[in-house]
Structure 1
């Protein structure tokens, strides 16, 4: 069935109402129409990301010219076709500036990330092989296992404030062991448990591109079929990579980025990791490589 085309007036009004409800319906004589989104007629970011430019270029091939009072260079396309571009536009115009104020990156040197992770091999090897008691975190009984600050404080007490390597020094191992203790392994490992803890396995502002690089580098360094299962029980090798190694690597990458160190640095980096996860997914989607 042929896609229904939105008329010029309804096209502009609908998108403005849904995405930019306070946008003007007519262009100012002082505005260069080249600086406007050709679909929602509002200003594009001053420095659009490569992904946004790529999306707009691809959409232009599927669109028709549609000059209108709000944008002489306007384009027309099925709503389902251009709505993703306008959502990305909104992200870069409204959410990205806030991320910049917080110091989260707009660009990452992806070709260097793998080598940076390789330098962590000794630390990660110690984390895998450490035969620590897998009941760590039991002293926090009754506390919210999702409160990472509580878990951090508990873990720090076990370390005696030192920068100890191994599982006792991993916030992520402590977290998941506490979840297993409270909810049971089946609940944590099941589909519902994985969904509930999805964000905890994200690499912060490194996003989906970073996640792919981190996973591939870890699999190259530590093939799943060669990982000794005993020290990582009750987790499987894949669960250990997903819930412990991936966020551990991301945490250390962020610490390097921000030049953080010590327990205070770990705590700051962990907050950035958790706060910036949604931003990372939007800014660096897997199919949006620069």
Structure 2
């Protein structure tokens, strides 16, 4: 039997890690941990060989002869026979010794129990074998037969098997620590410093971001007639601000001891001394006033009204909040081309219809402003170019004088669009709006028009004020209520003496139609929308609001919690124009039924042929029969049909229900309408027509029904 010996030869070193042969030790050897040598694995016995082995229990004999030993199983874990393997498992269980399972003999494993009490002496290796039927001789047993049986394998297995039976295997423990090289500490310190520097940069950035969130802006009025002081301060105790932290600034502004400071809280001015704490908000400007005394206050504060308009509203709580229902805006898809009136009316289909996925509403990557097709209100504001709305934001005298000047240019063969742009530089020309303005002036009467012309350029002489004085249906082509106009003229003449009225003939107010003029509507002018909430921005934003928007755009994509303050500011400014925001769904059904008389005229081919929505439907289903057009497959590419606009999906369902009551199936003849059955005629023609008329009655702006001025 060959034995393997591993001898550890000592390595003699001199100073500084150099061996006696003057060769340096490699760096990887110094840094690597020292590990023990691994012994070569013992070769397993030849399982496929034909060598015969005997059971390792020397007392195991066959019944046929006294000198015949039983054969052992070479696949057994202890090279035993089946009976001896079972006895070994029983012995291991009684002596609380672990023994693995023996697969060839199907003997289960013996598990060691740590709670069992170990005996003081080792038990005998095997239980005594029952004596044979005839007594054994007194001489020792014969030696093993010399033959082809293996020599080294059984002896090693015998030693290993007895050791496994007598000594329990050690319990598994954690690997012991190994000695490491001499330079491991420097490497570890270098890696720790690098990690610390990265964490420091990240923490510093987080601290700067946190500091920005706690930085507030203040407007401080300290003297009557003086512009306020704009002050920015970092609040450590944000959102609570002890007023005494701003006391150095107050003293420089002339604050006297024991005086009072006024601050804005919940739309109310509160007075207090600097020894209290107030709540501030970094999302908007905080307002402060240095009051001379408790009963005296600063009355002349320049810029206070503008600052109060930008303050956030106090949100209602409880049941009142449910009354102010906010309607979700209709989905609008970004487009780069201008949209005509019927295209602007197109919106997403109701909830039951599938939605096209070809359009994306992902945020814009760059800081450029987003131009979208218009939706709900207002209809004619272009804040991108900072243009005035014609004629609503013009004086009546300027409108009348401008129309007369345009008439002179038209006599010189100047086109209507060119003449309008020369006389009214800035506003977007729209033929429909222009015709509506002429129509209103023709039916308003010279007395009332002269009254507003003589007012000149004052706050009460705007066209919007003039339009509110007139009946709401004056812009209709069928207007005939002359008595209302005469009553207004009598009231106007009695309130003021117009000694020199201005004569306005119909010829002065009517201009020939220009073939070059655009037949579109106001919806062709693109409106600016909020990049974050998709609302229309109707006013010119302040510098602070624009700066806030530019910072938020650079941070996109961004959470809505960070853009809420900006969206709240531009909504406050938009609501100053009194644009409707919440539809009255309770009265929508009755208002739709009230239009039955005018909608019935659309059931005749002569009238509906002039309708834009009907013409669009005919183009969409051209060449199809009624059955083919009503199939789902024919409408796969037409999901962006006409919706209910401002009223959204909820209003769409209400209007559709009212139309089904007024015009059910088989109640009118659809033969004059090729490719349209009753359902398609209601969806493609009547629903957008009703939505257009209802929205026109919800605003005071002068629109014409012929051009279908509606924004989604």
TM-score class, shorter: 0.3 to 0.5
Q: Answer 1 or 2: which has greater helix percent.
A: 1
Larger radius of gyration: 2
1 or 2 for the larger relative contact order (CA 8 Å, sep ≥6)?
A: 1
Q: TM-score, normalised by structure 1?
A: 0.47
Q: Answer 1 or 2: which has greater strand percent.
A: 2
